[in-house]
Structure 1
Amino acid sequence: MNVHRMICEGENAAEVLFVCTDDQCGRRVVLGKSRPKIVVIDDGELGASHIGSMGGVFIEDVDAA
């Protein structure tokens, strides 16, 4: 399984935007800060495992239906 790294591309008081660094993927997700919520903007490579972190928050192996 491919492993792609996600980095923070932007944030505001309520949300953080993470994007995949793999040029062929394009996955983008928005994470809620105070209310745990993940919104997938672009799926990217569905078969890849995406990991990332920002200031002590680490996301790894998230499965979504």
Structure 2
Amino acid sequence: MSAEPTYEEARAELVECVKKLEAGVPTLEESLQLWERGEKLADLCSEYLAGARRRLDERVEARSEETEE
């Protein structure tokens, strides 16, 4: 099983999926596969961004608590 892609890799692959879908693909099956892969990649990107947001919020909160003391 391959390793999970980084945020940047997932985003780049998602962009490629969208481009292919917008350009039109030869078969319905290929369109469905691209759509499903795109949804997985979009979810993964959302998870990465949510994690980054949590980390930033924690650091801002910790810094705020330091300045209050």
TM-score (norm 1): 0.23
Computing the radius of gyration from Cα coordinates, the structure with the larger value is 2
Higher strand share: 1
**Larger helix fraction of residues:** 2
TM norm structure 2: 0.22
Higher relative contact order (CA 8 A, sep 6+): 2
